[in-house]
């Protein structure tokens, strides 16, 4: 299983400047994660505080930073991320102050590619990550680039907490702060840049210079209150990969006698042994390394000793940790050992001898391994369907032993965090329990959502780990979608009048699957052929499938062979189905809006003048009622697209979906990600789209709207599901203590100092300011 890039990344942010809240009333919403029980994404770094027991952080490539709770669950720290701050969900490094547990720092930024418009920033917190200050850099960071599990490339001087060093990517070298991360300057005396590139011809994650990989201090090299004299810096450069300064960073030199031909992955310094441990791999490709070893550098004798070698077996070494309570105890993970499983090595004598978390067993067991541990995946029982049964995991880029508890360790994988509270059983040749311990860390890239009118309230599909049927939004599903089981699953949809029929498309063999029991069981569509991916949707009765794939639209009836729609040009299509009329399908490509009345067999263009079309939403309770989100706002038709008119004040919109009405005969609740009166956010309308209520807030931003996935609940008034690109799926309900806002009367008061009444006006009226004490609907 391999962690993909953030799927479908859309870099454009909603227009407008967030200078002041819109006139529209803001209704308080309660937002919760839809639980899956495990990260579902790549946990690239884990660090424990050496100062305060119980304080630890985990960083992810596209899901932000998390802090450990006392019950082994994790608390997200960056849910404020919105359309203007979305790159802060990429955490390229994390550092803690060894003498002040409240201080935490992160290097924030997702991509170094030219199509990422945002530079990186070092973010500082003095309250355990509750609030942040930012130091902006003149170049980009890469929390989702190749080599993202290396590190940590950000570190705090253990003798003088005001000093930090940061090792940059892209040839930008080493940077230093002397004022707790507020300002930074390049260390011009350090000239190595880490020139390794995974694939020089790649325009994506693998085509940039990896840069510097780790920073480590010798805390014994100076007294408290003065800058540490001895500092180590790792680079992704196989000719000279570890550099050292012995004069507090004034001068640097490559350490003599070091191994060549490999990249330094992780470096940890043992002050009691006066030795630097370094893990090596031959390639920074996130999904594969071919060779590697572990070396130890003794400072006093200035000698390097090879303490572990993979002997050319093709995996290299990645995460490395020391136990400060047990001198000479070191653990290291294999970088990418895919068969029969990833492995972890442990030594109690400074690397002289090693044992492994599993050993080969050729007695006939399958897979051929004998494990030291029992496996507990009770928090996410679906994990074996993705990772395999009893596995240690893959993409093990970070491992950490709790400095206050030698029995407690954690390591990150491409799907979860594993760990144990009985680690030292290993040393007694007794089994310990290896548990999935990432509850609360929802880190999936959501690609599709649908909320049927009966059965489970939600079905979801995601990148890398497939998807789920959510029978209880607050409890992890017992299993993932199977038969077929795909990693990245692209779309999911239910039939309007027969919601037990569900279709999903994905990247893998079969490519298209159908369910007749609302996602409980599946079979491959009889005519899927060799295609995969795309977006698939069902007719209301579930007998027709329209599949936007292979740069066109294709339709199949009753699992007969797909036929390409003949009368529309090739293109990348956005599609929607009418849940109350079996023949109605909608499609859009760029600014062209099409309607089919014969179950997707042919389409008629209705307009090309409403702007770039991003999403089509349909009223689940009324045929022919279609809504369109475009870069010019929200458009509406009540006659299946024959006439279309712009509705409401939105000037830009990414999503529009419809759910249950507040009353038995009222308008359905309409949800939109849009810019209204210059304010980009998530909104709800209860009056047909004329007035809107802001339902997102400063604590819940949901990242970039262009990467969100929307579904409205047809059974629960006010409930909206928002899928994110890295923080899983959220569901929001209107707070019971926050009444549904009503509009002021025509010509009635709508604002002013001390006014607590309705602040929205009826359709056709605008709230005009007369003075500081009175505004009126005119």
Contacts of 395 (CB under 8 A, 6+ apart): 2, 3, 42, 149, 286, 287, 336, 412, 413, 414
Q: Give the C-alpha separation, 200 to 283, whole Å.
A: 13
Q: List the one residue out of 205, 209, 390 whose CA is nearest residue 287.
A: 205
pLDDT 10s digits, 48-71: 999 999 999 999 999 999 999 999
pLDDT of 337 > 90? The answer is: no
Neighbour count for residue 498 (Cβ, 10 Å)? 17
pLDDT 10s digits, 633-681: 999 999 999 999 999 999 999 999 999 999 887 899 999 999 998 889 9
pLDDT value of position 25 = 52
Sheet holding 585-589, edge to edge: 574-577, 585-589, 592-596, 604-607
pLDDT of 20 > 60? The answer is: no
pLDDT value of position 758 = 65
Exposure string for 575-597, b = 16+ CB within 10 A, e = fewer: bbbbbbbbbbbbbbbeebbbbbb
pLDDT value of position 16 = 30
Strand partners, 449: 460
> For the CA atoms of 172, 178, 182, 184, what is the dihedral angle to 10 degrees?
-20
Q: State the catalytic residue, choosing from 61, 79, 310, 341.
A: 61
Using alpha carbons only, what angle is made at residue 223 by residues 220 and 225, rounded to the nearest 5 degrees?
Answer: 130
Mean pLDDT over 193-213 rounds to 96
pLDDT 10s digits, 402-425: 999 999 999 999 999 999 999 999
Q: Sorting pLDDT into bands at 50, 70 and 90, what band is 751?
A: confident
Mean pLDDT over 160-179 rounds to 98
Mean pLDDT over 73-78 rounds to 98
pLDDT value of position 19 = 32
Q: Are 720 and 733 in contact (CB under 8 A)?
A: no
Q: Give the C-alpha separation, 141 to 94, whole Å.
A: 13
Neighbour count for residue 33 (Cβ, 10 Å)? 18
Q: Which residue has the tokens 């492995």?
A: 343
pLDDT value of position 650 = 95
- Cis peptide bond upstream of 367, omega within 30: yes
Q: Give the C-alpha separation, 615 to 339, whole Å.
A: 42
Q: Which two tokens stand for residue 476?
A: 């992890």
Sheet holding 720-723, edge to edge: 29-33, 729-734, 720-723, 709-712
The CA–CA distances, whole Å, from 417 to 40, 104, 443 equal: 10, 21, 11
Q: Are 473 and 461 in contact (CB under 8 A)?
A: no
Q: Are 150 and 167 in contact (CB under 8 A)?
A: no
Q: Which two tokens stand for residue 1?
A: 């299983």
Tell me, rounded to whole angstroms, the distance of Cα 479 from its chain centroid: 21
Neighbour-count burial of 20, counting CB atoms closer than 10 A to its CB (0-12 exposed, 13-18 middle, 19+ buried): exposed
Tell me, rounded to whole angstroms, the distance of Cα 507 from its chain centroid: 19
Q: Give the C-alpha separation, 149 to 141, whole Å.
A: 13
pLDDT value of position 336 = 83
pLDDT of 756 > 70? The answer is: no
Average pLDDT, the chain: 92
Q: Are 541 and 497 in contact (CB under 8 A)?
A: yes
pLDDT of 577 > 90? The answer is: yes
pLDDT 10s digits, 267-298: 999 999 999 999 999 999 988 777 899 999 99
Q: Sorting pLDDT into bands at 50, 70 and 90, what band is 111?
A: very high
61 is catalytic: yes
Three-class SS state of 426: helix
pLDDT of 522 > 90? The answer is: yes
pLDDT of 432 > 60? The answer is: yes
Mean pLDDT over 208-233 rounds to 98
Q: State the catalytic residue, choosing from 237, 464, 493, 631.
A: 464
pLDDT of 142 > 80? The answer is: yes
pLDDT value of position 6 = 33
What percentage of the chain has pLDDT greater than the value 70? 93
What are the chain's domains? 37-436 (2.130.10.10), 446-741 (2.130.10.10), 744-778 (no CATH)
* Phi-psi category of residue 718: left, alpha or beta, with phi > 0 → left and psi -120 to 50 → alpha: left
> For the CA atoms of 361, 362, 363, 365, what is the dihedral angle to 10 degrees?
70
Relative to beta strand 432-436, strand 373-376 is parallel
pLDDT value of position 736 = 66
Residue with more model confidence, 28 or 480: 480
Q: Give the C-alpha separation, 290 to 147, whole Å.
A: 14
Mean pLDDT over 550-554 rounds to 95
The backbone torsions φ and ψ at residue 228, rounded to the nearest 5 degrees and listed phi first, read -60, 135
pLDDT of 740 > 90? The answer is: no
Three-class SS state of 87: helix
């Amino acid at each position: 299983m391999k962690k993909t890039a953030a799927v479908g990344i859309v870099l454009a942010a909603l227009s407008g400047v967030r200078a002041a809240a819109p006139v529209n009333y803001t209704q308080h919403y309660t937002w919760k994660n839809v639980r899956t029980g495990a990260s579902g994404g790549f946990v690239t770094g884990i660090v424990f505080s050496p100062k305060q027991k119980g304080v630890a952080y985990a960083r992810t490539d596209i899901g932000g930073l998390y802090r450990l709770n006392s019950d082994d669950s994790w608390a997200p720290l960056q849910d404020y991320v919105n359309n203007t701050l979305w790159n802060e969900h990429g955490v390229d490094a994390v550092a803690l102050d060894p003498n002040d547990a409240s201080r935490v720092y992160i290097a924030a930024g997702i991509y170094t590619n030219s199509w990422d418009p945002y530079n990186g920033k070092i973010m500082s917190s003095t309250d355990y990550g509750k609030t942040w200050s930012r130091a902006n850099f003149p170049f980009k960071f890469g929390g989702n680039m190749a080599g993202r599990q290396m590190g940590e490339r950000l570190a705090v001087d253990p003798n003088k907490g005001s000093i930090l060093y940061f090792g940059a990517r892209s040839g930008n070298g080493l940077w230093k702060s002397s004022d707790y991360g507020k300002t930074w300057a390049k260390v011009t005396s350090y000239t190595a840049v880490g020139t390794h590139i995974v694939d020089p011809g790649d325009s994506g994650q693998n085509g940039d210079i990896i840069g510097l990989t780790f920073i480590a201090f010798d805390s014994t090299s100076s007294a408290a209150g003065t800058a540490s004299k001895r500092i180590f810096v790792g680079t992704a450069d196989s000719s000279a990969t570890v550099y050292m300064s012995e004069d507090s960073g004034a001068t640097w030199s490559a350490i003599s006698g070091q191994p060549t031909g490999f990249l330094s992955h992780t470096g940890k310094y043992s002050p009691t042994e006066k030795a630097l441990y370094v893990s090596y791999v031959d390639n920074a490709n996130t999904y594969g390394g071919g060779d590697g070893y572990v070396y130890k550098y003794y400072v006093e004798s200035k000698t390097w000793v090879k303490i572990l070698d993979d002997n050319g077996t093709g995996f290299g070494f990645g995460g490395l940790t020391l136990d400060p309570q047990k001198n000479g105890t070191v653990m290291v993970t294999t970088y990418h050992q895919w068969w029969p499983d990833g492995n972890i090595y442990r030594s109690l004598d400074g690397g002289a001898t090693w044992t492994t978390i599993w050993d080969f067993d050729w007695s006939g067991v399958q897979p051929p391994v004998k494990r030291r541990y029992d496996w507990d995946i009770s928090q996410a029982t679906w994990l074996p369907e993705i990772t395999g049964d009893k596995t240690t995991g893959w993409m093990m880029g970070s491992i950490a032993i709790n400095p206050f508890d030698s029995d407690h360790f954690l390591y990150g994988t491409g799907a979860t965090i594993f760990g144990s509270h009985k680690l030292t059983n290993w040393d007694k040749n007794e089994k310990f329990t290896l548990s999935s311990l990432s509850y609360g860390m929802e880190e999936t890239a959501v690609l599709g959502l649908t909320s049927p009118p009966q059965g489970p309230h939600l079905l979801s599909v995601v990148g890398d780990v497939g998807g789920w049927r959510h029978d209880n939004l607050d409890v992890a599903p017992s299993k993932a979608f199977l038969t077929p089981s795909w990693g990245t699953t692209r779309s999911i949809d239910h039939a309007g009048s027969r919601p037990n029929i569900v279709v999903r498309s994905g990247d893998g063999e079969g490519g298209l699957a159908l369910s007749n029991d609302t996602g409980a069981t599946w079979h491959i569509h009889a005519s899927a052929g060799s295609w995969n991916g795309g977006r698939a949707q069902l007719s209301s009765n579930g007998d027709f499938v329209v599949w936007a794939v292979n740069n066109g639209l294709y339709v199949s009836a009753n699992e007969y062979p797909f036929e390409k729609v003949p009368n529309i040009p090739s293109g990348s299509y956005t599609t929607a189905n009418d849940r109350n009329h079996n023949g109605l399908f909608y499609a859009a490509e760029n600014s062209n809006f099409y309607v089919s009345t014969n179950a997707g067999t042919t389409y008629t263009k209705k307009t090309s003048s409403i702007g770039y079309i991003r999403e089509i939403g349909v009223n689940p309770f009324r045929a022919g009622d279609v809504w369109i989100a475009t870069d010019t706002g929200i458009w509406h038709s009540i006659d299946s697209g024959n006439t279309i008119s712009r509705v409401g004040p939105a000037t830009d919109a990414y999503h529009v979906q419809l759910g249950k009405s507040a009353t038995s005969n009222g308008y359905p609740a309409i949800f939109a990600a849009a810019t209204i009166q210059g304010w980009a956010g998530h909104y709800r309308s209860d009056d047909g789209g004329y007035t809107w209520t802001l339902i997102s807030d400063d604590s819940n931003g949901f990242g970039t709207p262009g990467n969100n996935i929307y579904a409205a609940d047809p059974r629960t008034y006010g409930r909206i599901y928002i899928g994110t690109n890295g923080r899983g799926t959220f569901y929001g309900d209107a707070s019971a203590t926050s009444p549904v806002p009503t509009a002021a009367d025509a010509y009635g008061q709508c604002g002013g100092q001390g006014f607590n009444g309705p602040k929205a006006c009826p359709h056709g009226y605008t709230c005009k300011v007369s003075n500081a004490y009175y505004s009126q609907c005119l």
